[in-house]
Amino acid sequence: MMYDVNSVREDFPILARQIYGKPLVYLDNGATTQKPRCVVEAMVDEYYNVNANVHRGVHFLSQQATDLHEASRETVRRFINARSVNEIVFTRGTTESINLLAFSFGELMVKEGDEIVVSAMEHHSNIVPWQMMCARKGAVLKVIPMTDEGELQLDEYVKLLNAKTRLVCCTHVSNVLGTVNPVKELIRVAHAHGVPVLIDGAQSTPHFAVDMQDLDCDFFAFSGHKLYGPTGIGVLYGKEEWLDRLPPYQGGGEMIKNVSFDLTTYNELPYKFEAGTPDYIASHALAKAIDYLTGLGMDNVFRHEQDLTRYAMERMQDEVEGMRIFGPAEHHDAVISFLVRDIHHLDMGTLLDRLGIAVRTGHHCAEPLMHRLGIEGTVRASFGLYNTRQEVDALVEGIKRVAQMF
């Protein structure tokens, strides 16, 4: 199938906006993506025509809302090729998915002196929940180091695994460097040591197909809003044998089977981990976003964004004097972090904004990675399925213009 980016763009009304009188060039997709009409319309339609609380109602609307919510779980299952819908827990997003796991896994599995392995390029949301759990349990955080090029050092990783290691937590794709980590290999090695693995899929799921059974990870977290879906919804995937054993994270309605003041029993999977009214509007809209993505074809999306990334990296490197791009040349996803000479990232970002170009600046919630690179922050352009080569041209010309001002 031919990928027609211009017709794709028509599905996203916001892309027609002008910013300071210039066409919007939205290159902050790593932070959040824009929403296609079908996603927004699904939310409006459900609020207007279906809305009722799920799971507990005998009445028509409640059952219809429940059917939509549970059909969405099946859509997510298919999207990541999990074995069962019991392995799909709806959360508020990647951050909540990881906090859930850090609490529940910590309660069951971690004791004083145990070790949790994370990588040098994690987002704060895959560091801080583990630090908090380690502090509670007297456990220790170990870090997989990386090369100056931004690739994990697998030889050092292997040395970190020992009898005290309880879990390995690693991002699939770095939100700063764009590095696509060899997670399949990381998982294989961890399993050889009897250690389970959590993969942070916040930055992989929007860009290429993921397959839980092929990866064989034990846990996987991602966010709806980075996937062209709504805010406030995300997923924690966990192998059923793990989720069965782990204790619940929050208590309340939905997650119980029976409650008495003497004894409360917990609901079956996945409801054991879904206390309270779920965001059933968002789960339905997330399924619409997934349908939209799979309709375009994840392979087409991947090829399109890889073309943009290569094109941008080449032009930036060749045409901008003093350009420093962070991250590896190979296995580089649709995120480009850069600095030009000694121009402050905030100045670059602010001036690009005046040209209608939206990029992100700062530490990108990865301060330890910034320390490792010896910098305070970067400018980050991140691509989505609706970006074009013309927008890359606008970015490169914009960077050149700003560079001339300094």
The stretch near ligand PLP (CB under 6 A) out of 118-126, 299-307, 317-325, 397-405 is: 118-126
Q: Is 379 helix (H, G, I), strand (E, B) or coil?
A: strand
**Contacts with ligand PLP, 165-194, as mask; x by CB under 6 A:** ------x---x-------------------
Among positions 99, 179, 203, 205, the unique one binding ligand PLP when judged by CB under 6 A: 203
Under rule CB under 6 A, residue 29 binds ligand PLP: no
Phi-psi region of 138 (alpha: psi -120 to 50; beta: other; left: phi over 0): left
Active-site residue, 38 included: no
In one letter, which amino acid is 142? K
Contacts (CB under 6 A) with ligand PLP, residues 211-240? 223
Among positions 35, 73, 77, 123, the unique one binding ligand PLP when judged by CB under 6 A: 123
- Residue 175 CB, nearest distance to ligand PLP (Å)? 3
351: number of Cβ within 10 Å: 18
Two structure tokens written together for 91: 């959360």
Whole-number Å distance between alpha carbons of 301 and 13: 19
Number of chain residues interacting with ligand PLP (CB under 6 A): 12
Among positions 33, 72, 95, 165, the unique one binding ligand PLP when judged by CB under 6 A: 95
Whole-number Å distance between alpha carbons of 220 and 190: 15
In one letter, which amino acid is 6? N
Under rule CB under 6 A, residue 380 binds ligand PLP: no
Chain centre to alpha carbon of residue 198:
13
Kindly name the residue from 134, 169, 170, 365 that is annotated as catalytic: 365
335: number of Cβ within 10 Å: 27
The stretch near ligand PLP (CB under 6 A) out of 50-58, 122-130, 153-161, 314-322 is: 122-130
Q: Which is nearer to ligand PLP, 203 or 378 (CB)?
A: 203
- Residue 222 CB, nearest distance to ligand PLP (Å)? 8
Q: Which is nearer to ligand PLP, 196 or 230 (CB)?
A: 230
Under rule CB under 6 A, residue 33 binds ligand PLP: no
Under rule CB under 6 A, residue 93 binds ligand PLP: yes
Q: Which is nearer to ligand PLP, 236 or 246 (CB)?
A: 236
**Contacts with ligand PLP, 334-373, as mask; x by CB under 6 A:** ----------------------------------------
Q: Which is nearer to ligand PLP, 334 or 396 (CB)?
A: 334
Buried b (16+ CB within 10 A) or exposed e, 282-310: bbbbbbbbbbbbeebebebbbebbbebbe
CA-nearest of 57, 307, 80 to 88 is: 80
Whole-number Å distance between alpha carbons of 179 and 378: 15
Whole-number Å distance between alpha carbons of 68 and 45: 12
In one letter, which amino acid is 318? D
Q: Which is nearer to ligand PLP, 227 or 396 (CB)?
A: 227
Whole-number Å distance between alpha carbons of 181 and 37: 33
Chain centre to alpha carbon of residue 368:
19
Among positions 75, 94, 99, 119, the unique one binding ligand PLP when judged by CB under 6 A: 94
The stretch near ligand PLP (CB under 6 A) out of 2-10, 123-131, 158-166, 262-270 is: 123-131
- Residue 256 CB, nearest distance to ligand PLP (Å)? 26
Length of the chain: 406
378-382 sheet: strands from edge to edge: 323-326, 335-340, 378-382, 360-362
- Residue 221: phi and psi, rounded to 5, are -125, 140
Q: Where in the sequence numbering do the catalytic residues fall? A: 365
Contact residues for ligand PLP, defined by CB under 6 A: 93-95, 123, 125-126, 171, 175, 200, 202-203, 223
